[in-house]
Amino acid sequence: MHPAVALLAAASQPLCKLPPDKLAQAIALSHWRTGLYFGGTAWLLAVLWIVVRMGAGSAVAHLASRVSANPWFQGLIAIPLWLLILSAIEIPGTVLGHWVSLRFGLSIERWPNWWIDGLKSTAITLVLGAIALSILYALMRRSPRRWWMWFWLITVPLEVLVTWAAPLVIDPLFNHFTPLAQTDPALADQLERVAARGGLHIPPSRIFLMDASTRVTGANAYVTGLGASKRIVVWDTTVRIETPEEILFTYGHEQGHYVLHHIAKGIGYSAIVIFVFYWFAFCAMRWLVRRCGPRWGVSSVESWSSLGLLLLVGLTLNFLAQPIANAISRQIEHQADVYGEEVIHGLVPDPQATVVRSFCSDEVVWLDDPQPNPFVVFWTYSHPPTEERAAFAAHYDPWLPGHEPKYFSKQK
Ligand SMILES: [Zn+2]
């Protein structure tokens, strides 16, 4: 069944049938999430716009120029200052977001730990931001007309490097990861069967269990890293919540991402989107600095006084690009669903029922809205709505006469 048809089927009759109290919570939470996302973005862009209009750009650049005459050193003052201004503007929205997660029981992370996590994230953003923006402004100074293209050429290898390093350097700052074969050898054996059926040998050392239960109540798994750091991570909550058969599907979906090279493809897609994105940013910056620069204290695009304006332009474009990024992501997630359902064929008695149960269990623990607003899905959903995924799974049986599996041969 085509996902659009599945959506219609899901809209007419929800498969998962949440209990009334959970349904009320799911709908309330979905309103909160929508409000937090769109309201939070509007707040961030509006406040940043006011800060930029008040001439903060020239104030920060002036401060940096008093410390050093070298533009690289000036950047090491201006970049952290602006990134901290951004973080400060975002605090009310993120605090409210965590309060909502606690209230709905999705998070169990206490406030002190939550603040420590926030500080760590901010520190990582400062380091990565300082590297990327220092390079960007050096390119602007050297090539005022082509910087966007040069920076695009550098962005792709930077993205590859960060994707490769994230599971090795960044993720362990937040969670503990143990090889699944050590903590749960029986489950690791089961997952090996899924890997074998997919015709690949994912070394057991590449499958990790993450201590998600220290922060959240919901189940999940994901694929991360690239090349030598590529791995599958299963949250410990998944092992507690899902039945062994459902875990096989959850894992099979992740194996789909792994086998179908979705991380590398994602980087490829984003390279195309980013190319257009940077060109827009270049045009917008040139136009805004010419038009409003003198009033807002921004002397030129390539001076550090433009950094606040650049962040405003970048965040606005990023918000506008969300529907494109999410449409690509939903397509990739759908492929992984198809792979996951096909790979457990023959390993569980009834793949359709197993996958539907897995999604319905997700809907309960994550309080997913069974009938989300289509515009909200279009703009913000990185995965197809849970009901839509369940409806597809319920009807997808490529081993029926006249159908063909997409990723496997029918004999297997
Ligand atoms: Zn996925």
CA–centroid distance, residue 265 to ligand 1 (Å): 13
Structure tokens at 335: 């492929």
How far is the C-alpha of 348 from the C-alpha of 248, rounded, in Å?
A: 9
**What pLDDT shows up at residue 29?**
96
Structure tokens at 131: 């590297």
pLDDT at 8 over 60: no
pLDDT at 265 over 70: yes
CA–centroid distance, residue 124 to ligand 1 (Å): 25
The DSSP bridge pattern shows strands 177-179 and 207-210 to be antiparallel
CA–centroid distance, residue 28 to ligand 1 (Å): 25
3-class SS of residue 2: coil
Amino acid code (one letter) for 368: D
CA–centroid distance, residue 255 to ligand 1 (Å): 9
**What pLDDT shows up at residue 320?**
95
Using one digit for the tens of pLDDT, what is the confidence trace for 321-376? 999 999 999 999 999 999 999 999 999 999 999 999 999 999 999 999 999 999 99
**In contact, 146 and 136? CB cutoff 8 Å:** no
Percent of the chain beyond pLDDT 90? 83
How far is the C-alpha of 256 from the C-alpha of 362, rounded, in Å?
A: 19
CA–centroid distance, residue 264 to ligand 1 (Å): 14
DSSP string covering 370-408: SS--HHHHHHH-SS--HHHHHHHHHH--TTSTT---SSS
CA–centroid distance, residue 260 to ligand 1 (Å): 11
CA–centroid distance, residue 363 to ligand 1 (Å): 15
CA–centroid distance, residue 291 to ligand 1 (Å): 44
CA–centroid distance, residue 204 to ligand 1 (Å): 20
Block residue for tokens 């089927």: 9
**What pLDDT shows up at residue 189?**
87
CA–centroid distance, residue 106 to ligand 1 (Å): 20
CA–centroid distance, residue 254 to ligand 1 (Å): 6
The arrangement of strands across the sheet holding 177-179 comes to 177-179, 207-210, 231-235, 221-224
pLDDT at 75 over 90: yes
**In contact, 405 and 343? CB cutoff 8 Å:** no
CA–centroid distance, residue 284 to ligand 1 (Å): 35
Average of per-residue pLDDT across 73-93: 97
Closest CA to 408 of 190, 255, 197, 196: 197
**What pLDDT shows up at residue 123?**
97
How far is the C-alpha of 270 from the C-alpha of 159, rounded, in Å?
A: 10
CA–centroid distance, residue 292 to ligand 1 (Å): 43
CA–centroid distance, residue 78 to ligand 1 (Å): 38
**In contact, 1 and 395? CB cutoff 8 Å:** yes
**What pLDDT shows up at residue 200?**
78
Average pLDDT for the chain = 93
pLDDT at 9 over 60: no
pTM: 0.90
Show the CA angle centred on residue 409, arms to residues 404 and 412, nearest 5°: 120
